[in-house]
Structure 1
Amino acid sequence: MVAFYALVHKDDDSAFGVSFPDLPNVFSAADDEDTVVANAIEALELWAEDQPIPVPSTLESLRERKDVREALEEGAFLVRVPLVEHEGRVVRANVTFEAGLLRAIDETARRRGISRAAFLASAARKALGT
């Protein structure tokens, strides 16, 4: 899976700002730290819909960049943001679960009015973003 590093900036009186050193036109923001990566994933996915995807820089090469070093010195921090590409096609998968866990998944999906597959896809997207 392709992933890009993002710089997260936070001033005392502002939301979290997210920028991608490899992708100068991609930005995101989040009101709290728990949603930084999820919002960054969404920004990255939206950008990738219309752009060729470059090879991401390594963590080591980013740390050598003057602009990244300066941002880190000013209090920013780096997070790894996975790019989950939407191919537009659905693939069937056979998975195995412990019976009690599967029952809990089905009950939760039913309460939410969604299918088991939709619930599992949602949970996977959430897990990839943390």
Structure 2
Amino acid sequence: MRYVALIHKDPDTGYGASFPDFPGCIGAGDTIEETVRSAADALAFHVAGMREDGEDIPAPRGMDAVRADKALREETKDAFFVLIPLIEDRSAAKRVNISIDPSLLEAIDEAAKERGMTRSNFLASAARMLLTG
């Protein structure tokens, strides 16, 4: 699932991100890319808290629906619209079978070892970085 985030830039500060579907959930950064990563982390953390509290998670609205929401007119006026993936940490790994070029696998294993990571952690971390910008 991807949720709409509104990215704002104030003249004297960095960027901020907010989620119309999750009031109070915000991210921030000095660059848009950093703000998108911060927003993805904030979204996952916010949803985890909602789940712990037994709250319902809203279905994501599309950009057109957010833009058409009259209650958000002021908030959306000067905002960049970005879709942020909800990547929840479910604390349980799932075993999968993939096919990969042997030399690429060697490079992955070497890079993982240099970072003190397992192959699985390295691949999950790389995928998370690509998915969140």
Question: For residues 48 and 72 of structure 1, do their structure 2 counterparts lie closer, same or farther at Cα, with a shift above 3 Å needed?
Answer: closer
User: Is the deviation greater in 60-69 or in 94-103?
Assistant: 60-69
Among 100, 104, 116, the residue aligned to 1:113? 116
**1:65 maps to amino acid:** D
Structure 1-normalised TM-score? 0.90
**1:79 maps to amino acid:** V
What secondary structure is seen at the aligned counterpart in 1 of 2:25? Answer: strand
Q: Which residue in 2 is equivalent to 1:19? A: 18
1:102-122 CA-to-partner distances (Å, cap 9, x unmatched) read 111111111111111110010
Q: Which residue in 2 is equivalent to 1:46? A: 45
How far did 1:67 drift?
4.6
Quote the Cα distance in structure 2 between the aligned partners of 1:71 and 1:83. 22
Among 55, 59, 79, the residue aligned to 1:76? 79
Task: Name segments (4+ residues, structure 1) moved above 3 Å.
Answer: 67-73
Q: Greater share of strand residues, 1 or 2?
A: 1
Unaligned runs of 5+ in 1: none
Q: Which residue in 2 is equivalent to 1:56? A: 60
How far did 1:99 drift?
1.6
**2:88 maps to amino acid:** E
Asked whether 1:35 is paired with 2:34, we answer yes
Unaligned runs of 5+ in 2: 51-55
CA RMSD between the two structures: 1.4
Maintained 8 Å contact 2:27/2:36: no
Quote the Cα distance in structure 1 between the aligned partners of 2:113 and 2:89. 25
Structure 2-normalised TM-score? 0.88
Asked whether 1:102 is paired with 2:105, we answer yes
Q: How many residues align?
A: 128
**1:100 maps to amino acid:** S
